[in-house]
Every structure is written in C-alpha cells, then in structure tokens.
Structure 1
C-alpha cells in the first residue's frame, strides 16, 4: 500500500476466541477453525468524518501516554467496546501497514480472548454496533467477493466479506478486509472463492 509523508501511528486489535454461544452454521474446510471461533468487529458511526459507517477492528491512534502499539490497541478496544483487557492474551503484532489516504501507519495486534467479557457500543458517536462474527462464516465462499471504488482518479479493488449480525447485514471491505484476507491466507484457512464477484459497498 502507498505510504504518506509523516504518518500518524495507530493500532488495531484483531481479537479472536470462542466469543459467544452462537456458533457458525457451517464447518470450515480447515479443521483448525472450530464453529465457535469468532472475531470481534465494530461498525463505525455514520456521522464520523473518516471511514464513516465502515466495519473495522477496534483501534485508533497511539497516544503519548501509551507504552507501545500493543497498549494503544488494548486501550482503544476497551474504550470502544468495554472489553476487559485482562482477559486478552496478546499473541504478537504484524508489520505496520501504511494508509496514505488517512495518513496513518497502522500496526495490527493479534490477540486471543482467553476470558471473554461482555462488549457493547460504549460511545454512539464513535460506533454504531459491536459484534462477533464466526470465522467459518467469513471463510464461506458464498460470503466472499471484491469491492471496487474510485479514489483520486484511480480504481481500487480489494477483498470483501458479507457478514450477518444482530445489528443487521454488514460488508467488511477496505483495510479491515485486507487484513483478514492476508491472515487467512497466511495461516492456510482460505477456501476457494470467486475473485470476480463484486460486492456493493453500502452508501457508495
């Protein structure tokens, strides 16, 4: 991805675990993916100036008081979803990813939710929904596709996931979908899917 001059540091928490009692209705092809393996996501408020309405991982900018990017990811996740960070085991962090459009350098922090705690929308001005999504559903080829959008005179294509939650149907695209797609490829969970199926981006 293209980088920006003097980007601001940020971090997101990619939190996995058996997060609730609503398992996927389908088995994943990989035996390593159980039906109750979930990932924590949130839908950003539609009134935000940046990335309004998009599905994202909990996260945000690194503050001066944060010890490091891991501390920033955990703090932001607690502030956005109310999770108890003492129940999270940090597995590690990936290389920072540049986001030129918003001038950020984002570090993905991978976590395992050893002791799940209730989560919710803490600030309605920031988030419209907080929800858990079964990984097996994300891997389902029927829920996969690509998005296309134009920005600064260029057409961008990227992976997309369609997910259902209590808050309704959501399309995961852009940065968040790219991280999920790369992780699934890296650990060997990806199932064959149609790379020509275009998924509409809500509100675009």
Structure 2
C-alpha cells in the first residue's frame, strides 16, 4: 500500500472508537495529573502529510518513501505554555467552528498560511488526553494533494514552520527517549532528533503511536536518553 492508503487504514481502524467518543490517555510514564472532564477544553491538531519539495530526506532504506513529509512548527520561545516545542498546527475549538476538522484546518491556516483547498482530510483519530493543560485533543489526518507555501504567520506564536522528512523521523539513529524531571518525578516520552530540533512530549507521543499503527516504525533503542530544551515548562 502507499503511505496515503496506510494512513487511511489507520483512520478506518479508529473510526468506531471515534464514533463512541472514546479517548486515549497519555502513556503511564508521561502523565502530569488527570484531565478534569468538567473544565477540560477541546482542541484539534492537523497532522498533514505530503511529498517533499526541496528538502530531501537524509535517511534511506526506510519503511516509507524518501519524499514523504509531515508539516510541523516550532512554537515561539516566549510563550507561557509549551515554549519552543515542536508541534502540529492546531488549537482550541471555537464556538463558530463547524466541527473539530474545521478547527484543525482553521488553526493551520492561521498559523502557517497554507491553502486548505489543497488538503484532503482523511479522517480523525481518537481523542487524546493532554492533562498538563487540561485539553482533549483530536488529531486530524490530512494529505497534502496540492502543497502551498507555508510560513510562521504570527512570530509571537510560532518561530518557524517546516516540513520534516518522515524517513528521517523514523531513522533509529534519530530516535531517543526524552527525560523530563518535574516535581520530584521523572517522566519519559519518545523523541525524534531532526537536525538541531527535538520533537518530544505530546507531538512525539502522537507521532510514535501513528507510526506504530501505520506499520512504519523501525526498531530503535529507548535506553538512549536526552533532556529536551525548554523542559522547565511543558
């Protein structure tokens, strides 16, 4: 199957759970409290895959094409929450949004300037808990049929926007366990080292699960640990 077909299969596998409004908790070694159902906000992120334009993958012999990429952004380092972290485009659901898919696309347009007409929405994954900020997040999977230029629209929110080669994310040499110390406890998340950037926390957890479900993961060594930048705030 093609990467697009494999992603569609993942979406199909989630469909029944999505319809039942089931949720996925954070891994037991990355749990900062619990989501408060009475006050939790809903949010959505766009996980947008496409084909690389001018940034070839360094890694080869992967489980995916060298040309496959995913759209990510680096959050501004001055933000109060998740400063400097690598993230998917996305944000909180507004009352005027038709549904969470609309939320994900709207936020992606506001943050990256992409043309939503070129995005084919494949579907949604299960709600994912984000206790540290008390959000329930819906990942929306998209395929970039007609890629458009992207950039950090508001530098107060995003430092940069970039397309990461998936083959490089999957390369075992770029995989790490990210260790965070907080309130006397040690927490771990999957990590992806891409150049001088580290994808960790919520974004890395969602990518790791998605890669596993798509059958793309290449065995790697979780014992190799690093600490992330800006780890004092999550």
TM superposition score category, shorter chain reference: over 0.9
RMSD over equivalenced CA pairs, Å:
1.1
Pick from 174, 178, 190 the counterpart of residue 217 of structure 2. Answer: 190
Partner of 1:133: 164
**Given the alignment of the two structures, is residue 199 of structure 1 paired with residue 226 of structure 2, yes or no?**
yes
Partner SS for 2:226: coil
Cα distance in 2 between the residues matched to 1:28 and 1:100: 37
Alpha-carbon deviations, 1:95-144, whole Å to 9, x = none?
A: 11111110100000000000000000100000001001100000001100
In structure 2, the gaps of 5 or more residues are 1-25, 27-33
- Whether the 8 Å CA contact 2:180–2:227 is kept in 1: the answer is no
1-structure distance, mates of 2:132, 2:185: 12
Counterparts in 2 of 1:41-190, with a 5 A limit? 41-164=72-195, 169-190=196-217
More helix as a share of residues: 2
User: How far apart are 1:4 and its partner, in Å?
Assistant: 2.6
Given the alignment, which residue of 65, 85, 102 partners 1:34? Answer: 65
Which runs of structure 1 show a deviation greater than 3 angstroms over 4 or more consecutive aligned residues?
none
Partner secondary structure for residue 121 of structure 1: coil
TM-score of the pair, normalised by structure 2:
0.82
| Mapped contact 1:28–1:140 kept (Cα < 8 A) | no
User: Cα deviation per residue 1:4-42 (whole Å; 9 max; x = unaligned)?
Assistant: 332100000000000422221222432xx1111000000
Secondary structure of 1:101's partner? helix
1:3 paired residue number: 35
Structure 1: give runs of 5+ residues left out of the alignment. none
Q: How many corresponding residue pairs?
A: 198
